[in-house]
Amino acid sequence: MFRPSENAYELDSPTIMPKASGFLWNDKMMIHVNCRGYVVAQFMQPEPAKYSHAPNLEAKTFMQPEQPYYAHHPGRFVYVKDEEKGEIFSAPYEPVRVLPDHYRFYLGKDYISWTVIKNDVQIDMRLRLPKEGALELWRIKVKNLSNKTRKLSVYPYFTVGYMSWMNQSGEYNQTLQAIICSSITPYQKYTDYDKVKHYRDKTFLLAEQEPFAWEVNQETFEGEGGITSPTALEADALSKGDARYETPVSALQYKLTMKPEEEREFRFIFGPANNEEEITHVRQQYFGQKQDNEADGFMDAEQDFARYIAEGKGCLHIKTPDHDFDHFINQWLPRQMYYHGITNRLSTDPQTRNYLQDNMGMSYIKPKIARDAFLTALSQQKENGAMPDGVILHKDAELKYINQVPHTDHCVWLPICLHAYLDETNDYAILNERVPFAGANNDATVLEHMNLAMRWLINDRDERGLNYINQGDWCDPMNMVGYKGKGVSGWLTTASAYAFRIWADICEIVDQQDMATTFRLEAKKSNETINKYLWDGNWYARGITDDNVVFGISKDVEGRIFLNSQGWALLSGAANEEQKNKLLQAVTDQLESPYGVEMLGPPFTAMREDVGRVTQKHPGSAENGAVYNHAAIFYIYALYEVGETDNAYRLLRKMIPGPDIDDVVQRGQLPVFIPNYYRGAYKEIPRTAGRSSHLFNTGTVSWVYRCLIDGLFGVKGVTEGLQIKPQLPTDWDKASIVREFRGATLHIEVIRDNNVGQTEVYLNEERVKDNIIRDIEKETTYHIQVKIP
């Protein structure tokens, strides 16, 4: 049904998981491809824009969780007609929905493809992107598998959709061998014209080989037969129609007479352009330079893209008793982490917390990028230490959407994310870099910036010492706890305590003892405050509202327990042993589901006006009690920190679909990325629990990687070198790890040995002191044996 292969993941049915999908990206675009042929593609100009549209005027907004597909959803399809029998099917499955005799959906790391066979005709569709530019590179192969000559018409059908109410049209351009659809983005204020005129409002489908016929008019193509059985296919040839203020489509016809076993390949380029010259240039660049037997621009671009994606390979390669886990960790996790770090989620103003955490992940792939990002973020810090809600990455960007709402947690992420970077690189020199402030002429060292950020957290507290939440903390939609200026966040107070601890550790390393002492004291005071006001007897409360109501406590019927308050109390050190055991039990009893640990429970079913928008989300969706993976991974990280090894791995494993079929089918997503959530409300709405949001933008992934490094495999950097401290689940008796670290390669074999009482590390068969591999040299390979009890 579905399985990992060497460098891909495969699905054998278009119907069992109709939303199963993969995604490709480059610096300029992202494309989300569904197993049935539906596609959502966005490119930057500078804000996300589309070149293949819905059939109506869509709202421009962020990607929607669990986005439903519909008949006229944008997609890339190939209709195939048997000219002799008149039979029609379409690849990959939509829009005709004839079940093929064979179907396979391949998710490669740098390509997405299908192989579909119906009545001895095989269609292969393969999509890659170029490394640069917003373009889709398509190869479509047709093969006659039968032992007789077949007459076929093959119709690539790429949707263009409702481009604009102001102006939309399309026609075939003979010279360019391209369907070119034109539009003008609607606007009303003349001041917008200067922006709009540079938009790439054209959509083109460029064909390497001249088509027999074409259709650019969607209505004409469909006729009364509709998209499932287009009237235009009844004719010998498409009508070569155009679209004049009509919805355009890119449909081409190739009429083929194919001998037994004959195969033909067609190549296409689909994407946006500002003008015809640009399309001419694309044609020349991709199809124009082919020498005999040499790669042309198209092939070069495919290879460049493969290399680009391969750069996102991480610093860990594992082999464990759980092969599906290995496949995901080795193949897919670094890819997703790289996507976040290299594109910043294709946003021009990423939320500060996302920007920092996504770049925490880049510490494991391209630390230089992480370094630059930390400096960029700090350069937008205010002189009073406050971090902005979003980090502006493009000169034309404005803070939008959620970044216009004030959140109070952004400073917390600075030491936490920097910590991972420093562990990985030992680059303490970054602390001496001078960085400016936002809207000011002066600058300061990173160390000073960090101190200011910590000071800001200390100052933004009420008389009890609890951090104000304003209109939200990490939980964006918790917007009404403190909007009157009094409400506080228990989680944020705990997270601040953890941040102070981490920062104190760093200060100590760079010989800033006074600061270390100061912040360690602040951490201690914070923990005391938390215990004084927020310990509810068996777990920690989430906060206190503007009206001084403590919430997330046992007497609450909904939102009784919040996950974040528990895990971070372990990280901050607030919870003593008794509290730890109680809260672990409470989480297991009240929040754990087969699909992971839920973010809160029970989910809210009605607006709680002193908590806010989070309570209005559908029960079990997103922050209202989903298995919100970002929250879940914080908790798992905390479990590793306190040595809850089995507990941690059990929950970590639930973050990845599978391995058993029922689990994957229920989630509806292949294990090629971690989604931002799986539906929760397992106790209340079991029918839908576990479903993936199918959103692959999530702060989760860098933390999963950090859990592997710092926790599960225990191969974390320290100033002296690499500290080895595996926390394998008790049912694993071994694991092999290849760790790339500060330029060296370490092969680490971990074996469970009943004869040891504690972890023993051997390098060249010599026991290693403190289990820290010291004096690691670049471009050197080390072989390390580890015995664990």
When the beta carbons of 318 and 611 are compared against its own copies, the nearer one is 611
By the rule CB under 8 A, 54 interacts with its own copies: yes
Residue 486 phi, psi (nearest 5)? -115, -30
Give the shortest CB-460-to-its own copies separation in angstroms: 19
Give the shortest CB-358-to-its own copies separation in angstroms: 21
By the rule CB under 8 A, 184 interacts with its own copies: yes
By the rule CB under 8 A, 21 interacts with its own copies: no
In whole angstroms, how far apart are CA 233 and each of 157, 159, 226, 255?
A: 12, 16, 11, 12
The stretch among 115-123, 399-407, 517-525, 711-719 that binds its own copies (CB under 8 A) is 399-407
The stretch among 180-188, 282-290, 389-397, 568-576 that binds its own copies (CB under 8 A) is 180-188
Q: Which of 531, 604, 633 is nearest to 572 (CA)?
A: 531
End-to-end CA distance of the chain: 39
By the rule CB under 8 A, 277 interacts with its own copies: no
Give the shortest CB-336-to-its own copies separation in angstroms: 22
Q: Of all helices (H) and strands (E), which one includes residue 496? A: helix 490-509
When the beta carbons of 143 and 679 are compared against its own copies, the nearer one is 679
349 is catalytic: no
When the beta carbons of 191 and 291 are compared against its own copies, the nearer one is 191
Burial of 311 (0-12, 13-18, 19+ CB in 10 A): exposed
When the beta carbons of 423 and 476 are compared against its own copies, the nearer one is 476
Give the shortest CB-196-to-its own copies separation in angstroms: 9
By the rule CB under 8 A, 230 interacts with its own copies: no
Catalytic residue among 242, 476, 536, 556: 476
Instruction: With beta carbons less than 8 A apart as the criterion, state whether 533 and 489 touch.
Output: no
By the rule CB under 8 A, 227 interacts with its own copies: yes
Within a 10 A sphere around the Cβ of 261, how many other Cβ atoms? Answer: 10
Q: Which of 216, 244, 207, 248 is nearest to 52 (CA)?
A: 248
Select from 66, 358, 389, 558 the one that contacts its own copies (CB under 8 A).
66
Q: Which of 312, 314, 108 is nearest to 737 (CA)?
A: 314
Q: Which of 344, 353, 440 is nearest to 393 (CA)?
A: 344
Under rule CB under 8 A, which residues in 587-646 are in contact with its own copies? 607, 609, 612-613, 616-618, 620-621
Say how many residues touch its own copies, by CB under 8 A: 63
What is the C-alpha separation between 672 and 536, in angstroms, rounded?
A: 39
Select from 224, 294, 577, 779 the one that contacts its own copies (CB under 8 A).
224
95 preceded by cis ω (within 30°)?
yes
What is the C-alpha separation between 399 and 638, in angstroms, rounded?
A: 32
Sheet of strand 48-49, all strands in order from the earlier edge strand to the far edge: 21-25, 29-34, 39-44, 48-49
Q: Of all helices (H) and strands (E), which one includes residue 492? A: helix 490-509
The stretch among 186-194, 316-324, 644-652, 661-669 that binds its own copies (CB under 8 A) is 186-194
User: What is the contact mask toward its own copies in residues 72 to 111, using x (rule: CB under 8 A)?
Assistant: xx-----------------------x--------------
Give the shortest CB-173-to-its own copies separation in angstroms: 16
**In sequence order, what E strands does 411-532 have?**
434-436, 443-445, 467-468, 488-489
By the rule CB under 8 A, 714 interacts with its own copies: no
Q: Which of 76, 347, 53 is nearest to 186 (CA)?
A: 53
When the beta carbons of 620 and 658 are compared against its own copies, the nearer one is 620
By the rule CB under 8 A, 762 interacts with its own copies: no
Select from 246, 276, 296, 753 the one that contacts its own copies (CB under 8 A).
246
Select from 58, 234, 261, 733 the one that contacts its own copies (CB under 8 A).
58
When the beta carbons of 300 and 610 are compared against its own copies, the nearer one is 610
By the rule CB under 8 A, 70 interacts with its own copies: yes
Select from 46, 55, 367, 659 the one that contacts its own copies (CB under 8 A).
55
By the rule CB under 8 A, 731 interacts with its own copies: no
Identify the DSSP state of 371.
Answer: H
What is the C-alpha separation between 421 and 359, in angstroms, rounded?
A: 9
What is the C-alpha separation between 363 and 484, in angstroms, rounded?
A: 39
By the rule CB under 8 A, 402 interacts with its own copies: yes
By the rule CB under 8 A, 288 interacts with its own copies: no
Under rule CB under 8 A, which residues in 139-168 are in contact with its own copies? 162, 165-168
By the rule CB under 8 A, 306 interacts with its own copies: no
The stretch among 369-377, 396-404, 427-435, 764-772 that binds its own copies (CB under 8 A) is 396-404
What is the C-alpha separation between 683 and 238, in angstroms, rounded?
A: 54
Under rule CB under 8 A, which residues in 447-476 are in contact with its own copies? 471
When the beta carbons of 108 and 690 are compared against its own copies, the nearer one is 690
Residues 134, 71, 210: CA angle, nearest 5 degrees:
50
Burial of 432 (0-12, 13-18, 19+ CB in 10 A): exposed
By the rule CB under 8 A, 401 interacts with its own copies: yes
Under rule CB under 8 A, which residues in 312-371 are in contact with its own copies? none
What is the C-alpha separation between 124 and 120, in angstroms, rounded?
A: 13
What is the C-alpha separation between 300 and 314, in angstroms, rounded?
A: 25
Residues with catalytic roles: 476
Binding site for its own copies (CB under 8 A): 15, 54-61, 64-68, 70-73, 97, 162, 165-169, 184, 187-190, 193, 197, 218-219, 224, 226-228, 244-247, 401-402, 404-405, 471, 479-480, 483, 607, 609, 612-613, 616-618, 620-621, 679, 685, 687-688
